[in-house]
C-alpha cells in the first residue's frame, strides 16, 4: 500500500470511530440529496461500494432529483437520496455492466463526446513530463505544452481509453443515462469564449444525434466553471450543471451549481463511509491528503 493510501485509510478509521460520519448520514443527509462522483472504479470494488450505499442510502436517478427540484417537491424523494455519477466515459466503466445489472441502480455517465468511439487519449494521461499544472494555464498554452511532450488531441493512438459506441449503447440498454462532459475535457474557464461555447453546445447536440437520447446536464470538466460557462449552458438548452463543489443539495441549491462528492476509485469501505458524508473532503483540504 502506498504511503498516501495508508494515510487515507488511517484517517478514515479515525474519523469513522468518532461517529461523526454516522451522525451526518442519519441526521444532516436525511433531508439532502448527495451526488457522488467516480471515474473508473474496478468492478469488484464497485460491487462492495454498492452493497454499502444501497444499505445506508436511497439510490435515485439524476433525473428524479432534477424533476423533484424543478417542481419544488423534494418531499417526493426518499430520505438520504443519493445519485451516482461517473465522469469522462473511460473504457473501464464498461466493465461495471454486470454490477449495474445486478444492483439495478440508476447511474449517470458524463461523456467527452469527441473521444467516444475513438483511440484519442485523455490529455491528463500525457502530462507527467510537464512541470506546470495544466489545469491552471490558458487553454492554448495547455495544448502547446502537451504538444511538446508528444501529445496530439486529434491523434488516434494504438490503445483505447474511452467507451465505444457499442458499449455506450449496451449501457443505455441497462438503464444508464449518458450526459455531456464537453467535447474534449478542456478547463472551461481557461478557454476562449468561442471554444467554451463550442465545447458545451456541440457535445450536447452530438450525443443526442449519435445515440438518440436527451442530453440535459453538463458536468463541468474538472469541476471548473465560471459565470460565462453557466450562461452558455442555459442558452444551449441544458437544464442543470454539475460541479465538484463539496456539499449536498436541496431546494435552494443553484441548479447550474449542483454539488458533488468525489469518491476515490480505490477507496476502501472505511474511506467510502467517511467520504460520502463530506467529512473527508474537509479534512483532506486541511491536511492536503
* pLDDT at 22 (0 to 100): 95
In a domain, 94, yes or no: yes
Q: Are residues 46 and 65 in the same domain?
A: yes
What is the H or E stretch that residue 81 is in?
strand 81-88
Tell me, what CATH number does 253's domain have?
Answer: 3.20.20.370
Q: Which residue has the cell 481509453?
A: 161
- pLDDT, tens digit, 9 for 90 and up, residues 170-191: 999 999 999 999 999 999 999 9
Average pLDDT over the chain reads 95
Q: Are residues 282 and 258 in the same domain?
A: yes
In a domain, 221, yes or no: no
Given a cut of 80, whether residue 129 has pLDDT beyond it is: no
Q: Are residues 113 and 128 in the same domain?
A: no
Q: The C-alpha cell of 277 is what?
A: 458524508
Q: The C-alpha cell of 199 is what?
A: 465545447
Domain count, the chain: 2
In a domain, 256, yes or no: yes
Q: Are residues 139 and 34 in the same domain?
A: no
Given a cut of 80, whether residue 284 has pLDDT beyond it is: no
Q: The C-alpha cell of 171 is what?
A: 449501457
The arithmetic mean of pLDDT across residues 199-228, rounded, is 98
User: Residues near 286 by Cβ (< 8 Å), separated by ≥ 6?
Assistant: none
CB contact at 8 A, 61 and 104: no
Q: Are residues 13 and 100 in the same domain?
A: yes
Q: Are residues 30 and 130 in the same domain?
A: no
Q: Tell me the residue range of the domain where 138 lies.
A: 120-159
In a domain, 96, yes or no: yes
Rounded distance, CA 150 to CA 121, Å?
A: 12
Which range, of 64-68, 69-73, 85-89, averages the lowest pLDDT? Answer: 69-73
Q: For the whole model, what pTM was predicted?
A: 0.96
User: Residues near 121 by Cβ (< 8 Å), separated by ≥ 6?
Assistant: 115, 151, 155, 157, 159, 161
* pLDDT at 142 (0 to 100): 96
Q: Are residues 111 and 126 in the same domain?
A: no
Total count of residues recorded for the chain: 289
Amino acid at each position: 500500500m502506498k504511503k498516501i493510501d495508508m494515510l487515507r485509510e488511517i484517517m478514515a478509521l479515525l474519523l469513522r470511530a468518532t461517529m461523526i460520519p454516522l451522525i451526518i448520514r442519519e441526521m444532516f443527509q436525511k433531508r439532502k440529496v448527495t451526488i457522488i462522483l467516480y471515474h473508473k472504479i474496478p468492478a469488484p470494488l464497485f460491487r462492495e461500494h454498492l452493497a454499502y450505499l444501497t444499505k445506508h442510502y436511497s439510490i435515485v436517478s439524476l433525473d428524479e432529483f432534477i424533476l423533484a427540484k424543478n417542481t419544488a417537491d423534494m418531499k417526493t424523494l426518499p430520505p438520504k437520496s443519493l445519485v451516482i455519477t461517473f465522469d469522462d466515459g473511460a473504457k473501464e466503466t464498461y466493465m461495471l455492466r454486470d454490477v449495474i445489472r445486478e444492483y439495478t441502480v440508476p447511474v449517470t455517465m458524463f461523456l467527452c463526446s469527441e473521444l467516444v468511439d475513438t483511440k484519442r487519449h485523455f490529455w491528463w494521461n500525457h502530462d507527467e513530463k510537464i512541470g506546470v499544472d495544466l489545469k491552471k494555464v490558458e487553454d492554448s498554452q495547455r495544448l502547446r505544452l502537451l504538444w511538446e511532450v508528444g501529445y496530439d488531441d486529434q491523434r488516434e493512438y494504438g490503445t483505447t481509453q474511452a467507451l465505444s459506441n457499442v458499449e455506450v449503447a449496451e449501457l443505455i440498454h441497462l438503464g444508464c443515462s449518458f450526459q455531456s462532459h464537453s467535447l474534449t475535457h478542456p478547463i472551461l474557464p481557461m478557454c476562449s469564449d468561442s471554444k467554451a461555447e463550442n465545447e458545451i453546445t456541440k457535445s450536447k447536440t452530438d450525443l443526442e444525434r449519435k445515440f438518440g437520447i436527451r442530453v440535459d446536464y453538463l458536468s463541468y470538466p474538472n469541476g471548473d466553471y465560471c459565470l460565462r460557462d453557466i450562461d452558455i449552458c442555459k442558452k444551449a438548452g441544458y437544464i442543470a450543471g454539475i460541479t465538484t463543489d463539496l456539499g449536498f443539495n436541496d431546494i435552494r441549491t443553484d441548479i447550474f451549481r449542483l454539488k458533488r462528492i468525489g469518491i476515490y476509485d480505490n477507496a476502501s469501505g472505511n474511506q467510502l463511509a467517511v467520504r460520502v458524508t463530506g467529512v473527508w473532503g474537509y479534512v483532506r483540504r486541511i491536511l492536503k491528503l
